[in-house]
C-alpha cells in the first residue's frame, strides 16, 4: 500500500513531539488528521505547516477539548473511516498542577483506555502507537532511589500512595505514564484488538521545535531545561541534572518506524536513549559552540562524577536494534535547540 493512501490520526497535535511527527508524516506523503484543543490552535498549526513549505492539504484538524471521554474519539473515527493509523501522543505534562490525580493521572489513564476501546470498534484501524515515557520504567517506589540496570522490560512500581501530596506533580507524572502503560499491556493481552500496538518511551527530549519559535516564553518542558542553562549568569552555580536523552526528531522518527515495521514492533515498549546528559555537559557544549554567550563554563569532570554517583544504568539496545537507525548526538541536539532559542526574537 502506498503511503499516500494512508491517513494517520495524531492526538495532541500541537505538542512538542507531535509537531515533529506531523511534519515528518507530511514529508513522507501521509495524510494527517490532528486533534487540537481549539480552532485557533488548529489554524495556527496549519499556518506553521504552510510557512515551512509543506503542503497543508495533507493536514486537517479536529477539535477535541476533552481527552478523557470515549465519545470524541468515536466521533472522529466514525467521521473519518480513512484513518488506519493512530498515534496517541496527548497526555498531560503539567508540573504546576494543583491536583496530580485529577489533572495528570486520571486524564492520562482514562484517555488511553478510551481511545483504545474506541479504536477497537473501528475495524479500519490497523496500527496504534502510544507515547509513553522512560519514567514508566524507573522504579523509585522503595526509597526514592532507583537501582540497577533498566531495560524495556522494567516497570516503575509507582502507585498513588507514593504521592507526597496533591501537588506532587513529578511523582504524579511517573504514575500517569506507568498506569497508562499497564493499561496498554492489559488491553492488548485481554482484548486482542485487530490492530498492532507499540509504546514509545522517550528519555529527556532535546532538540529544536518543529517550526519556527515565535515566543520564547512558551517553550516546552525539555526546551526549558536547555533554556535554564542558557539563562545562567557566568558566576552562578550550575544546578545538577543527570539522565539520558534523545533528540525530538528521533522520537518522531521512532513513532513512524514503529508503525511501518509493525511486524517487528507489535506489543513492544521501545526505550529511546542516545546517551547520557548533565547540565554540566549542556553548559560546556553551549560554551564551545556559542562563545558570545556568557554562562558558566561547565565541567566534564563534574559531569562524569555526577553520572558515576547515580547508581543506575540503562540498556535499551534491544529497542535500538529493532528501530535500526542512528540517533542524533547530544552536541547537535543542544546546538540546534540553542540556535533556535537565540534566533527567537
Residues with catalytic roles: 177
| Angle between helical axes of 221-230 and 279-289 (0-180°, round to 10) | 60
Say if residues 316 and 273 touch (Cβ distance below 8 Å): yes
- Nearest-Å Rg of the Cα atoms of the chain is 20
CA 209 to CA 222: how far, in whole Å?
Answer: 10
The strand pairing partners of 269, in sequence order, are 199
Q: Which residue has the cell 543506575?
A: 312
CA 101 to CA 326: how far, in whole Å?
Answer: 37
- State residue 11 phi and psi, 5-degree precision: -80, 150
CA 186 to CA 129: how far, in whole Å?
Answer: 15
| Angle between helical axes of 71-79 and 106-120 (0-180°, round to 10) | 40
Secondary structure class of 104 (helix, strand, coil): helix
Q: Which residue has the cell 494527517?
A: 32
Secondary structure class of 62 (helix, strand, coil): strand
C-alpha cell at 178: 506507568
Amino acid at each position: 500500500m502506498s503511503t499516500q493512501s494512508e491517513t494517520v490520526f495524531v492526538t495532541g497535535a500541537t505538542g512538542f513531539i507531535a509537531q515533529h511527527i506531523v511534519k515528518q508524516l507530511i514529508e513522507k506523503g501521509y495524510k494527517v488528521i490532528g486533534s487540537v484543543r481549539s480552532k485557533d490552535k488548529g489554524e495556527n498549526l496549519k499556518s506553521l505547516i504552510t510557512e515551512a513549505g509543506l503542503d497543508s492539504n495533507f493536514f486537517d484538524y479536529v477539535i477535541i477539548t476533552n481527552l478523557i471521554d470515549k465519545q470524541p474519539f468515536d466521533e472522529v473515527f466514525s467521521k473519518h473511516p480513512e484513518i488506519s493509523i493512530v498515534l496517541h501522543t496527548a497526555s498531560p505534562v503539567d508540573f504546576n498542577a494543583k491536583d496530580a490525580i485529577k489533572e495528570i493521572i486520571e486524564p492520562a489513564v482514562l484517555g488511553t483506555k478510551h481511545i483504545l476501546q474506541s479504536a477497537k470498534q473501528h475495524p479500519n484501524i490497523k496500527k496504534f502507537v502510544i507515547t509513553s515515557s522512560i519514567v514508566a520504567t524507573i522504579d523509585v517506589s522503595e526509597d526514592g532511589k532507583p537501582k540497577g540496570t533498566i531495560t524495556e522490560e522494567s516497570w516503575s512500581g509507582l502507585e498513588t500512595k507514593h504521592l507526597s501530596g496533591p501537588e506532587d506533580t513529578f511523582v504524579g507524572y511517573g504514575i500517569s505514564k506507568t498506569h497508562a502503560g499497564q493499561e496498554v499491556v492489559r488491553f492488548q493481552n485481554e482484548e486482542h484488538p485487530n490492530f498492532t500496538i507499540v509504546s514509545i518511551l522517550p528519555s529527556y527530549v532535546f532538540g529544536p521545535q518543529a517550526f519556527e519559535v515565535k515566543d520564547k516564553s512558551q517553550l516546552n518542558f525539555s526546551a526549558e531545561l536547555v533554556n535554564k542553562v542558557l539563562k545562567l549568569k557566568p558566576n552562578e552555580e550550575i544546578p545538577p541534572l543527570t539522565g539520558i536523552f534523545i533528540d525530538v526528531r528521533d522520537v518522531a522518527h521512532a513513532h513512524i518506524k514503529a508503525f511501518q515495521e509493525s511486524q517487528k514492533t507489535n506489543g513492544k515498549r521501545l526505550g529511546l536513549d542516545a546517551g547520557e546528559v548533565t547540565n554540566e555537559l549542556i553548559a560546556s557544549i553551549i560554551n564551545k559552540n556559542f562563545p558570545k554567550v556568557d554562562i558558566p563554563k561547565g565541567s566534564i569532570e563534574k559531569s562524569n562524577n555526577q553520572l558515576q554517583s547515580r547508581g543506575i544504568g540503562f540498556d535499551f539496545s534491544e529497542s535500538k536494534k529493532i528501530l535500526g537507525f542512528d540517533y542524533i548526538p547530544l552536541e547537535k541536539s543542544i546546538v540546534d535547540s540553542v540556535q533556535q532559542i537565540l534566533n527567537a526574537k
